Structure 1
């Protein structure tokens, strides 16, 4: 009984040796059966390579995103250019524009009058300097209202015809006043011109407010001093 329990052990060793050595030889006269076809193991899913990511099904979305990004940057520039090209609005002249024309005309008239009144050279030079400063201050305020672009350039701002108070008090085109002021004038002519500028600035100051009203009032007072003190 004891020996029967240990007899199968050599058989297991022999079979194990046969498996290690290879398939057992087929006895003569016995037809070997065809081995069963190996069942292919499922291929694990491979990660998509960069080349496979750029397939026709994915590149349109990427291209669209690039186009949208470029458009987001370009739209403000295009909009600004279109606004500049299409802004054909004709605005009414700024109320201060006429005062700027009068100030520059007064400066030109005072400078031209020096040739006819060299004895008043100092007074006329002072008037020309002050009236030029008035004109520059008025232009700065006009440009501030119009505004500027980020690069410092001024936008297109078309305005209608500009008129200013003439010698008789009635409005005349600004070009007429500018042309007449370039001609030599007498002291009386310069004085009369300053008086008209003083009255015009005072009248406009009553219709404005804030800084504009103060600027016009200051200009009016300066013109009164020039006409009543410097040219007497």
Structure 2
């Protein structure tokens, strides 16, 4: 069955060309409008992950009895920092020549006793887990999954530390 010609919408050729010509400009404006002057929400998590890795490495150097566990924790937290850094940089579209958006932590000094060192590691991963867990509900998509996985990993590290 054919529809009568009068019922089909008619778009003039000039109007269609104007719409197609405006599409790239609208896309650029939409992309620029999504930026924010506020720091990325993941920045504190990445900074803390780097600091935790530095602390764990300092503890591994100072306390030989804890070195294997501390090095494993340092590797895990460094991986968290790296994944968070990549996501922050992906969203910010920064120049690769710029310094990292997540600053390197100040050198860490390990606590003098093994018990204090173990407590410091437990406190660091507990804080990392809690901070990430608090952030997850406000995120969406990939970012929510990434931060939830960091939180879950920190929870596992807490179990390893006892």
Per the alignment, residue 219 of structure 1 pairs with: 150
**Residues 107 and 131, structure 1, Cα contact 8 Å, conserved in 2:** yes
In 2, Cα distance between equivalents of 1:226 and 1:121? 15
Q: Which has the higher contact order (CA 8 A, sep 6+)?
A: 2
TM-score of the superposition, structure 1-length normalised? 0.47
Q: After superposition, what is the alpha-carbon deviation per residue over 1:19-59, rounded to whole angstroms, capped at 9, x for unaligned?
A: xxxxxxxxxxxxxxxxxxxxxxxxxxxxxxxxxxxxxxxxx
TM-score of the superposition, structure 2-length normalised? 0.66
In 1, Cα distance between equivalents of 2:72 and 2:137? 27
Return the offset for 1:101. Answer: 0.3
**Residues 100 and 139, structure 1, Cα contact 8 Å, conserved in 2:** yes
**Residue 199 (str. 1) matches residue 125 (str. 2):** no
**Residue 131 (str. 1) matches residue 77 (str. 2):** yes
Per the alignment, residue 25 of structure 1 pairs with: none
In 2, Cα distance between equivalents of 1:123 and 1:222? 15
For structure 2, list consecutive stretches of 5 or more residues without a partner in the other structure. Answer: 1-35, 112-116
Q: SS of 1:91's equivalent? A: coil
In 1, Cα distance between equivalents of 2:63 and 2:156? 19
Per the alignment, residue 117 of structure 1 pairs with: 63
**Residues 147 and 155, structure 1, Cα contact 8 Å, conserved in 2:** no
Return the offset for 1:154. Answer: 4.5
Q: After superposition, what is the alpha-carbon deviation per residue over 1:105-164, rounded to whole angstroms, capped at 9, x for unaligned?
A: 11011111124431121111111011111101101111111125xxxx3498xx9xx9xx
Per the alignment, residue 42 of structure 2 pairs with: 96
For structure 1, list consecutive stretches of 5 or more residues without a partner in the other structure. Answer: 1-89, 163-173
Q: Note the aligned Cα RMSD (angstroms).
A: 2.7
Kindly report which structure 2 residues correspond to 1:1-232, keeping only aligned pairs within 5 A, or say none.
91-148=37-94, 153-154=95-96, 178-179=105-106, 182-185=108-111, 186-229=117-160, 231-232=161-162
Which is helix-richer, 1 or 2?
2
Aligned length: 121
Q: Which has the larger radius of gyration?
A: 1
In 1, Cα distance between equivalents of 2:140 and 2:158? 26
